[in-house]
C-alpha cells in the first residue's frame, strides 16, 4: 500500500468512524472507556491471527521499545474518549485534535531540532485557525440548541486540560514512532498489534465503567431499519453503533500506522488534520447543523493552508515551465 492509498483509507475509515462515535456519545457521553476497550480488543484479536500468526511469528521491534509507545498510545486514546464525559462537544473535540499540526511542529523543533521554512509555519497556522473558526461556530449553535445552558466551568476546564494533554502526547508519540521505524525498519502491522495488545491490562482500572455502560448499551432500543434483518432485528442499537465504530476505527488506525511508516510525523499530522476538518463538515451536514459565513471562512483558510503546505501551486508552475521548455 502506497502513501496515497493509505491517506485515502485514513479519510474513509476515520470520517465514517466519527459518525458512529457521535451517534454513541449523543446517547451515552461517558461511554469512552467501553468504546476504547472494544476497539483495542478487536485489533488485538485480528492482529494475533493475521499479523502474529497465532503467536508463531517473532516480533522485529523489541517489546521493551514498544512499552514506551504503549503507554503513550493508551493514554492518548483513553483521554480523548474520556473527554466526552467532561461536557466537551463533538465540534470542540475535533478542534483540539486538529491542533496536532501546531503540536507536531513544536515537538519536531524541540525534540528533533528540525527547522521548517516560513511557508510551513504559515500553512500550519492557517489550517489550525480555519478549523478553530469552523468548530467554534458549530459549538456556538450547539449551545443555542441546548437552550442556553452553560456547562460547569470547572468540568469544562478539566475537559480542556485532558484534551491539551492528549494533543501534545500524541505529537510526541508520532515522533517516537518515526524514530522507531528509522531504527528498526517499517513494521506498521506489527506495531498496531503489539501496541493494542500490550495496552489491554490498562483497562482493568476502568472495569466498573466498562461494565456499567455495557449494561446500558444492552437496554437500548433496536433499530427499526434492521427489523427484518435476521440477527439484527432485536439487537440494541448502541451495540450496532459500537460495532460500526470498532470496524471503522480499525480501518482508520491501520491506515494511520501505514501512513506513519511512509511519511514524516508532520505530514501524517497534516493528513489527520484535513481528515478531522472534513469530519467536522460532514457532521454539520449529516446532523443538519447550520453552515454559516464563519464556516466558509474556515473552509477557505484550511484549503489555502493545505495548498501552501503541499506546495501544489509551485509544483504545478514548475511542471508547466518544464513542459514549455520541452516544447
Grid cell, residue 92, equals: 470542540
Grid cell, residue 10, equals: 485514513
- What is the pTM for the complete model shown? 0.72
Q: What confidence score (pLDDT) does residue 26 get?
A: 82
> What gap in Å lies between CA 296 and CA 299, rounded to an integer?
5
Task: Assess contact for 17 and 252: CB atoms under 8 A.
Answer: yes
> What gap in Å lies between CA 181 and CA 183, rounded to an integer?
5
Q: Which residues contact 272 (CB under 8 A, 6 or more apart)?
A: 10, 14, 97, 100, 256
Q: What confidence score (pLDDT) does residue 81 get?
A: 82
Burial of 309 by CB count in 10 Å (0-12 exposed, 13-18 middle, 19+ buried)? buried
Grid cell, residue 82, equals: 474520556
Q: What confidence score (pLDDT) does residue 272 get?
A: 76
Place of cell 509551485: 314
Q: How far apart are the first and last CA of the chain?
A: 35
Q: What confidence score (pLDDT) does residue 34 get?
A: 94
> What gap in Å lies between CA 302 and CA 128, rounded to an integer?
7
Ranges assigned E (strand) in the chain: none
Burial of 140 by CB count in 10 Å (0-12 exposed, 13-18 middle, 19+ buried)? middle
> What gap in Å lies between CA 104 and CA 113, rounded to an integer?
12
Grid cell, residue 255, equals: 491506515
Q: What confidence score (pLDDT) does residue 19 get?
A: 86
Grid cell, residue 123, equals: 500553512
Torsion angle of C-alpha atoms 198, 203, 89, 154, degrees rounded to 10:
-120
Torsion angle of C-alpha atoms 156, 162, 164, 168, degrees rounded to 10:
-170
> What gap in Å lies between CA 248 and CA 139, rounded to an integer?
25
pLDDT tens for the chain, 327 residues: list them. 567 788 888 888 888 888 898 899 888 988 989 998 999 999 899 999 999 999 899 999 999 889 999 999 899 988 988 887 787 777 677 767 766 777 888 888 888 888 888 888 888 888 788 878 876 776 665 554 444 455 566 777 788 889 889 989 998 998 888 888 888 988 888 988 999 999 999 899 889 999 999 999 999 999 998 888 888 889 999 999 999 999 998 898 888 878 877 777 667 767 877 787 788 777 777 766 566 788 788 878 877 777 777 665 566 566 567 666 666
Q: What confidence score (pLDDT) does residue 325 get?
A: 66
Q: Which residues contact 39 (CB under 8 A, 6 or more apart)?
A: 77, 196, 245, 246, 249, 250, 253
User: What is the DSSP secondary-structure string of 272-294?
Assistant: HHHHHHHHHHHHHHHTT----HH
Amino acid at each position: 500500500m502506497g502513501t496515497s492509498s493509505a491517506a485515502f483509507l485514513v479519510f474513509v475509515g476515520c470520517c465514517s468512524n466519527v459518525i458512529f462515535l457521535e451517534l454513541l456519545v449523543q446517547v451515552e457521553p461517558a461511554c469512552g472507556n467501553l468504546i476504547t476497550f472494544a476497539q483495542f480488543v478487536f485489533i488485538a484479536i485480528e492482529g494475533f491471527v493475521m499479523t502474529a500468526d497465532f503467536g508463531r511469528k517473532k516480533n522485529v521491534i523489541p517489546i521493551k521499545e514498544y512499552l514506551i509507545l504503549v503507554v503513550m498510545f493508551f493514554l492518548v486514546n483513553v483521554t480523548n474518549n474520556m473527554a466526552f464525559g467532561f461536557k466537551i462537544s463533538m465540534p470542540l473535540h475535533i478542534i483540539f485534535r486538529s491542533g496536532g499540526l501546531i503540536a507536531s511542529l513544536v515537538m519536531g523543533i524541540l525534540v528533533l531540532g528540525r527547522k521548517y521554512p516560513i511557508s510551513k509555519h504559515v500553512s500550519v497556522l492557517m489550517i489550525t485557525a480555519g478549523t478553530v473558526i469552523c468548530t467554534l461556530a458549530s459549538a456556538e449553535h450547539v449551545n443555542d440548541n441546548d437552550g442556553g445552558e452553560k456547562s460547569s466551568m470547572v468540568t469544562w476546564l478539566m475537559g480542556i486540560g485532558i484534551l491539551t494533554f492528549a494533543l501534545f502526547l500524541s505529537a510526541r508519540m508520532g515522533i517516537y514512532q518515526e524514530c522507531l521505524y528509522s531504527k528498526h525498519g517499517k513494521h506498521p502491522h506489527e506495531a498496531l498489534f503489539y501496541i493494542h495488545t500490550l495496552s489491554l491490562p490498562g483497562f482493568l482500572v476502568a472495569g466498573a465503567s466498562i461494565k456499567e455502560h455495557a449494561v446500558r448499551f444492552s437496554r437500548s432500543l433496536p433499530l427499526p431499519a434492521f427489523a427484518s434483518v435476521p440477527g439484527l432485528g432485536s439487537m440494541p442499537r448502541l451495540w450496532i453503533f459500537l460495532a460500526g465504530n470498532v470496524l471503522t476505527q480499525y480501518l482508520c488506525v491501520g491506515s494511520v500506522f501505514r501512513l506513519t511508516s511512509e511519511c514524516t510525523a508532520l505530514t501524517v499530522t497534516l493528513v489527520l488534520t484535513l481528515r478531522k476538518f472534513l469530519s467536522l463538515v460532514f457532521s454539520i451536514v449529516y446532523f443538519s447543523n447550520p453552515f454559516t459565513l464563519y464556516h466558509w471562512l474556515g473552509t477557505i483558510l484550511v484549503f489555502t493552508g493545505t495548498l501552501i503546505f503541499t506546495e501544489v501551486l509551485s509544483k504545478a508552475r514548475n511542471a508547466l515551465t518544464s513542459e514549455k521548455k520541452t516544447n
